[in-house]
Amino acid sequence: MAQIVGGIGTSHVPAIGAAIAKGLQQDPYWKPFFDGYVRAREWLAEARPDVVVMFYNDHGLNFFLDKMPTFAVGAAAEYHNADEGWGLPVQAPFPGDPALSWHIIESLAAEEFDLTTCQEMKVDHAFVVPTQLLWPEGGRPVRIVPIAINTIQHPLPSPARCFKLGRAVGRAIRSYDEDLKVLVLGTGGLSHQLDGKRAGFINKSFDLMCLDRLSRFPEVLTAYSAADIIEMAGSQGVELLMWIAMRGALGDDVAEVHRNYHIPISNTAAGLLVLECRDAGRQPGRLRTAWPLRV
């Protein structure tokens, strides 16, 4: 049976990709951010996942406002990157795992999740930048199953719904009859707003609270609405939904391996959280009730 080795939450700002392309990792502005990933890469070298199930949000490369699914699962043999207009180098295709994708799709449908199934899927910086951060040597050491969550077109899914999605994905992975080690990745955020009267908004105390709760009491975050997160983390800070889905997939018994928090990176609060599963083979338990904190 497949085993979930752990999960990682990471920022995916396109400026990170530009810094990588320009070789600015040791630049004083960028060094505190990039140094935070050394321990994450060491842990990955130990865990050696075969497949990554990645929760991310599309920014218009694959979906647009006229057609924006709430949840979309890739089922392709490979995923192509394309020019988004940020000046980022276009990356070579990323290998998929269609068999695992279809198993997850069928499992989610059986649990009454309404999905968009994508047998072709272009992937943007939210998918590409995390792979560059975690596997900077290049190449394609893992196969990837992408799951896109809508954070653009309202109404948005709630944190509770995304957590339940993660729980269901975790059950699907653990029921997959193949000896695979799977990493679950959630990309985006943390707090930031790129437009409007609150452009440049960052909420450090809320971000740090979220990192704490994701490690130990993730159910606290499910009591918020999507509108609550936008209020406290900014309009683009709602990308926290991907971290919540990632955490849901891991189950109840996890250990925090590493975290890093750095502000600002391109007007964004950049976060990193590495969690290791200690309950391999066990099914996720029931939600525990908890009250949210307003920070």
Q: Is residue 154 part of a domain?
A: yes
Residue 107, pLDDT score: 98
- Residue 125 falls in the annotated catalytic set: yes
Q: Is residue 119 part of a domain?
A: yes
Q: Is residue 292 part of a domain?
A: no
Q: How many domains does the chain have?
A: 1
Pairwise CA distance, residues 265 & 263, whole Å: 6
Pairwise CA distance, residues 17 & 22, whole Å: 9
Q: Is residue 269 part of a domain?
A: yes
| Average pLDDT for runs of 10 along the chain of length 295 | 97 94 96 97 97 96 91 98 90 97 98 96 96 94 98 95 98 97 96 87 95 94 96 92 98 95 93 89 40 51
Per the residue annotation, which of 12, 59, 103, 125 is the catalytic one? 125
Q: Is residue 159 part of a domain?
A: yes
Residue 161, pLDDT score: 98
With H, G, I as helix, E, B as strand and everything else as coil, classify residue 139: coil
Per the residue annotation, which of 59, 103, 192, 262 is the catalytic one? 192
Residue 292, pLDDT score: 53
- Residue 192 falls in the annotated catalytic set: yes
Residue 293, pLDDT score: 52
68 class by beta-carbon count within 10 Å (0-12 exposed, 13-18 middle, 19+ buried): middle
Task: Compute φ and ψ for 284, nearest 5 degrees.
Answer: -55, 145
Residue 285, pLDDT score: 38
Residue 17 sits in which domain range?
3-273
Q: Is residue 289 part of a domain?
A: no
Q: Is residue 92 part of a domain?
A: yes
Supply the angle between the helices 204-216 and 240-250 in degrees, to the nearest 10: 10
Residue 294, pLDDT score: 52
Tokens, residue 106: 């069928």
CATH at residue 112: 3.40.830.10
Q: Is residue 132 part of a domain?
A: yes
